[in-house]
Amino acid sequence: MRSKSATRAERLRTRRREDGRRVGARRAASAQAVPVVVSRHGVVSGGIAAPTRTPRRRVTVARDRNTEVVASIPVALSGWRWLSLLIALGSLLGLVVLWYAPFLRVHTVRVAKTQYIPPAKVAVALAVEGRPVVSLDPQVLRSMLLRRFPALSAAQVSVGLSSVVKVKVTERKPVFVWRLGKRTLWLAEDGTAFTPPFSHTPKGLVMPKVQASTLPEGAREIRPGLWRMLRPEQVRQLHILAQSLPKGTTLVFHKRYGLGWRAPQGWQVFVGENITQMDKRLAVYQALSSWFEANGIKPAIVSLQSLQAPYYRMEP
């Protein structure tokens, strides 16, 4: 009985010792989480303070035999973080220089030689003088010029890290003045009609005139101020007609009869709206004109719309 009681007591004492160790371990673990507190009298409570992410330098002051912490200063970092900071500051400084530096602002707009649009007018339309070169987009400036001047078929804008913007434009070649009521258009050799860049025709730019009451069938507006009027072949045929007529003759474009003109004899001649085979139509008209004079006939209208069936009318 005594041996059993002794054994039981030993087990009880062993269990109590193990429980005590566990409690001590838990207290030590909780003490480590408690920050270090230093009093004015040098009494330290708690365990070891958990390290922070940013190392800090303590400033202490000795008071008699005790030590007191009066400040905690972050320790400056070095290495790649300093390098990242320098790169960021350098980039910011570079942007400021690019935006505000006087030598990186546009001082001159240089426009290549043009045919009839004054280069100064193109430069004024760009409105880039004094602006930072980094704020300019050549494609945006090119599109703006084409919208501003329908007379241009192409434009090229070069912007570099200098104070000069270079511009090169390609102008449409006008060959006819197309007057539609009170509106005046220039007809180019590629068949497009566009609003002229000024209200009057410049000196030295002489073009035959077409007085029209309407646009040809199939004409459409490409963008404001620019129309697709005729095909290039029709423009060539129209040019053949203008060269064969007396100088200064004004062509007309009638909604019903198409293209025509008033002959010196007084009658009106129409070749239709198709404007093809102009050499043959003119040959037929010369034959009819000779026949009219030989027979004393003075018609009001001569129609050459159909080469197989030309006709004339004595009344309008």
Decide if 84 is inside a domain.
no
For residue 56, the model assigns a pLDDT of 60
Are residues 9 and 50 located together in one domain of the fold? Answer: no
CA atoms within 13 A on the CB side of 107: 7
Looking at the structure, tell me whether residues 166 and 178 fall in a common domain: no
Does one domain contain both 212 and 297? yes
Residue 91: inside a domain, yes or no? no
Residue range of the domain that includes 5: 1-26
- pLDDT for 212 equals 92
pLDDT at 43: 46
Instruction: Mark whether 277 and 196 lie in a shared domain.
Output: yes
Alpha helices in the chain (DSSP H): 2-33, 80-100, 119-126, 138-148, 232-244, 278-295
Residue tagged 């009318």 (tokens)? 313
Give the domain-ending residue among 143, 170, 197.
170
pLDDT tens digits for range 271-315: 988 788 899 999 999 999 999 999 999 999 999 988 889 999 998
Q: Residue 27's pLDDT is what?
A: 65
Q: What is the pLDDT of residue 47?
A: 47
CB 203 within 8 A of CB 235: no
- Boundary-marking domain end, from 170, 194, 220: 170
Distance CA 98, CA 111 (A): 24
Are 181 and 295 in a shared domain?
A: yes
Q: Are residues 302 and 183 in the same domain?
A: yes
Q: Which residues of the chain have pLDDT under 70?
A: 1-6, 23-79, 89, 92-103
β-pair type (108-111, 44-45):
unpaired
- For residues 198 and 293, membership in a common domain is answered with yes
Question: Within a domain: residue 83?
Answer: no
User: Do 263 and 305 share a structural domain?
Assistant: yes
Domain count, the chain: 4
Give the DSSP H or E segment for 67: strand 66-74
Site of tokens 């390098």:
83
Q: How far apart are CA 17 and CA 14, in angstroms?
A: 5
Is 119 domain-assigned? yes
Same domain, 177 and 298: yes
Tell me the CATH number at 140. 3.10.20.310
Is residue 184 domain-shared with residue 298, that is, in the same domain?
A: yes
Q: Which of 146, 151, 147, 152 is nearest to 195 (CA)?
A: 151
The answer on 177 and 111 residing in a single domain is: no
Residues 183 and 291 in one domain: yes
